[in-house]
Amino acid sequence: AQAALQPSDGSVVETKASPFLSLKSKNEGNTWMIDKFLHQPLDVERYRTDFEALGPDHCGRINGSQAKADLVKSKLPSAVLHR
């Protein structure tokens, strides 16, 4: 059986793995869950200034309204943004 995911910051999350979730397991230090289609870890520093401009809270999270405003600027089709 697969162990439950425990976020390192104590927040409540879904029970499925996410590439955006920093995890801590019994046997490992902090690790990133990487999406099966992502062949290498993201270069976090490349996106840090854009993310910081969104105004994350003290735990480094943004809400849906903050994310939506920036994602709409991407001009991706609605069908892609609604997934």
Q: Which tens digit of pLDDT belongs to each residue from 43-60?
A: 888 888 989 999 999 998
pLDDT tier at 29, thresholds 50, 70, 90: very low
Residue 69, phi then psi, degrees to nearest 5: -55, -40
Residue for token pair 């994602």: 71
For the whole model, what pTM was predicted?
0.45
Structure tokens at 68: 């939506």
Are 4 and 15 spatial neighbours (Cβ–Cβ below 8 Å)? yes
Rounded to whole angstroms, how far apart are CA atoms 57 and 26?
A: 27
Are 61 and 11 spatial neighbours (Cβ–Cβ below 8 Å)? yes
pLDDT tier at 81, thresholds 50, 70, 90: confident
- In whole numbers, what is the pLDDT of the chain averaged over residues? 71
